Structure 1
């Protein structure tokens, strides 16, 4: 499993969440909503400190990660993070690794 963050998504994190070098962004499973890979759960994200990360990617010294306890949500899929240009919000897609 891998995390891919587009240039537009990186810029979104820097502008909307004021993410900067040294910050950590966690993607996690949250109850409620829907996703194409898990009905009844959706993907959340927050600034957080890694405890037991199973997947990390560092871009411009910002660490994006998924904790081991949330790995089940992805069910063997890679996470792609981009921006929906019409909504100006993050857009997630999942591809089987």
Structure 2
């Protein structure tokens, strides 16, 4: 599993969330909403430090990660995080692993 953060999403996380080198962003599954592959669940995001990492990528000293206990939500997919300029928020895409 891999996590891909687009340049526009990275800029949003750094500027709007105020992340600095050494910060971490955890992606998780949360109840309510929908994704491209889940009914009744959406992607949650919170600032925090990793403890039991399933997947990670580091950009500008900021670690973007998924914990192992969220494997049920991301299993079989890579996560691509892009940015919707109209809505001014990240967009989460699930890319099926081959």
Normalising by the residue count of structure 2, what TM-score does the alignment of the two structures yield?
Answer: 0.95
User: Is there any run of 5+ residues in structure 1 with no aligned partner, and where?
Assistant: none
User: Is there any run of 5+ residues in structure 2 with no aligned partner, and where?
Assistant: none
1:30 corresponds to: 30
Alpha-carbon displacement from aligned partner over 1:44-96 (angstroms, at most 9, x marks no partner): 00101111011010000000000000011113111000101211111111111
Aligned partners of 1:32, 1:6: CA distance in 2, in Å? 25
After superposing on structure 2, the runs of 4+ consecutive aligned residues of structure 1 that deviate more than 4 Å are none
Aligned partners of 2:79, 2:39: CA distance in 1, in Å? 17
Residues paired across the two proteins, number: 97
> How far apart are residue 32 of structure 1 and its match?
1.0
Q: CA RMSD in A?
A: 0.8
2:68 corresponds to: 68
Normalising by the residue count of structure 1, what TM-score does the alignment of the two structures yield?
Answer: 0.96
Alpha-carbon displacement from aligned partner over 1:9-64 (angstroms, at most 9, x marks no partner): 01000111101100000001111111111111110001011110110100000000
